[in-house]
Amino acid sequence: MKRKWIGTGWKMNFLLAEAEAYLSVLREYYKSNSENSVTIFLVPPFTVLRNVCELAKELPILVGAQNMHWQDKGAYTGEISPAMTKDCGVDLVELGHSERRSMFGETDFTVNKKVHAALAYGLKPLVCVGESALEKEFGASLESVLRQVKIALHGISREQTGEVIIAYEPVWAIGEGSTPAEPGYANSIHAAIRRVLSEMYDQAAAERIPLLYGGSVNLENSRELISESEIDGLFVGRTAWKAEGLIELIEIGSTALGMK
């Protein structure tokens, strides 16, 4: 059975003291849980990114950035280059989140540029895809999601796919008060993503790309979601903004694998 993934994006939250306290709780947890079947990752804001990378060095945790530019350097005020991102010590970079698309002009094509840049610098691109409520209402969910996948990975070789992670996050399911996707629905979208990946590359490549679900994941629905056949893990928001919540999710993921 494949490893499960549990990750959390902190968005525009967490000051340094809060980040340090979070990692302190995780450090205590791993003192008695050193062997774990779940791959964990944190995606903090840039202001605490280097600190979190340092604090997580001795823990079985990956750390990611929430965004980056595709250019190596230049006159791009306010942007962070791939080299700067790598210099912080991160393992992965989140790209194409729906908030970046809707609020800051991210497009499928800029996501593709960033995927190429991430791979060039040895970073794992965590590519976020998902349909809007309107696209779902008009029955165009698959077309929207698969378009995003195809464009994001355009020009990426089969060999490079081993470093790619995809998070399916339906836009209508993200945010406080939103409704999560039903596990069966999420699984069907993941299955369609897997099929198109096998068409773009082959089945082996499609199987080694982790497909995560994100969107109003909580302690009540996480077990059913992560137990679905095509869902390799969860990308979680508020539920994991306390370290204790993340630890509960780790335990749920381990149980799903029969490790607990």
Q: Which residues pair with 126 in a beta bridge?
A: 94, 165
> DSSP strand E in 96-223: where?
124-129, 165-168, 211-213
Q: Residue 133 to residues 129, 139, 180, 238: CA-CA distances in angstroms?
A: 13, 10, 12, 21
Q: How many C-beta neighbours within 10 Å does residue 202 have?
A: 12
Q: Is residue 28 annotated as part of the catalytic site, yes or no?
A: no
Q: Is residue 97 annotated as part of the catalytic site, yes or no?
A: yes
Q: Which one from 69, 97, 116, 190 is the annotated catalytic residue?
A: 97
Residue 41, phi then psi, degrees to nearest 5? -145, 150
Q: Which one from 94, 169, 190, 228 is the annotated catalytic residue?
A: 169
3-state secondary structure of 9: strand
> What burial letters (b/e) apply to 167-192, b meaning 16+ CB within 10 Å?
bbbbbbbbeeeeebbebeebbbbbeb
> What burial letters (b/e) apply to 80-90, b meaning 16+ CB within 10 Å?
bbbebbbebeb
Active site residues: 97, 169
